[in-house]
Amino acid sequence: MDQPIGVIDSGVGGLTVASELMRQLPKEKLIYLGDTLRCPYGPRPKEEVIQFTMEMVDFLLKKDIKLLVVACNTATAFTLELLQEKLAIPVIGVIQPGARAAIKMTQKMQIGVIGTEGTIASKAYPEALHSINSEIEVHDLACPLFVPMVERGVLNGPDAYSVIEDSLHSIKEKQQIDTLILGCTHYPLLKDTIQAVVGDAVHIISSGEETAREVSAIMGYHQTLYEGERIPMHEFYTTGSWEVFQQIANNWLNIPINIIENANIVID
């Protein structure tokens, strides 16, 4: 089926999911929309997150997408069930795939979760983890400084290390944690620095790989995979300034600048 896959995120973080989709499904076209103008979503009220997410979804539906990936954890927590009920196409979030990957990895049954204020307050990850294994002990922590730092393009170096070390102080003290879920798709862009702070003994889980695997399985089940031969031309959109978006897209996805089209759009 020649329709594209739609991916939405509050900003650039969903590029970590897009990267995995491109790697695992190299013939599928993606249309990505990052709401950088109104990022971050984490501190926003639930009703506002729902409104913004629905506006992004409406934009992508006009592109005739065949499947929607909600790559933002906060938006997943607040809108996934609503979207799955409302839309006629499959809708996949990032929380359940991340939870399943963490449970496969942990040996001590002690899992840490870091995310935005909205994601942590929603308790979506503890609920997802406990729905699979009620004996898992979950230690969650909001890290509100991470998303703005990524959106500024500060991904490593002394400043990033200092912010991450201060933010993770309390969770680092919990020596029993052997697995840490990056409960925001922005956070994998900080993965190397986060790993340096928490130590090599802690396994870090980002949901991109598992989410892409789930997308592949669902499209295989619905027989909507593209079966021809092509190098797809992806489309990337952002609601705000495109300079940092372009820089991170190029660094993370290793794609040429000219693939990023019509960047400066504003959602009504």
Check the annotation: does 9 bind a ligand.
yes
From CA 95, how far away is CA 76, in angstroms rounded? Answer: 7
Check the annotation: does 42 bind a ligand.
yes
Assess whether the previous peptide bond of 40 is cis (omega < 30° from 0).
yes
Vertex 111 angle, CA 129 and 41, to 5°: 70
Check the annotation: does 239 bind a ligand.
no
- Written as one string, the DSSP assignment of 174-238 is -TT--EEEE-STTGGGGHHHHHHHH-TTSEEE-SHHHHHHHHHHHHHHHT-S--S------EEEE
Return the closest-CA partner of residue 147 out of 176, 185, 202, 96: 185
Check the annotation: does 36 bind a ligand.
no
Q: Half-sphere exposure (CA, 13 Å, Cβ side) for 96?
A: 14
From CA 19, how far away is CA 55, in angstroms rounded? Answer: 23
From CA 51, how far away is CA 192, in angstroms rounded? Answer: 34
| Residues annotated as catalytic (active site), given as ranges | 72, 184
Check the annotation: does 79 bind a ligand.
no
Check the annotation: does 156 bind a ligand.
no
- Cβ 18 vs Cβ 187: under 8 Å: no
Binding-site positions read 9-10, 41-42, 73-74, 185-186
Binding-site positions for substrate read 9-10, 41-42, 73-74, 185-186
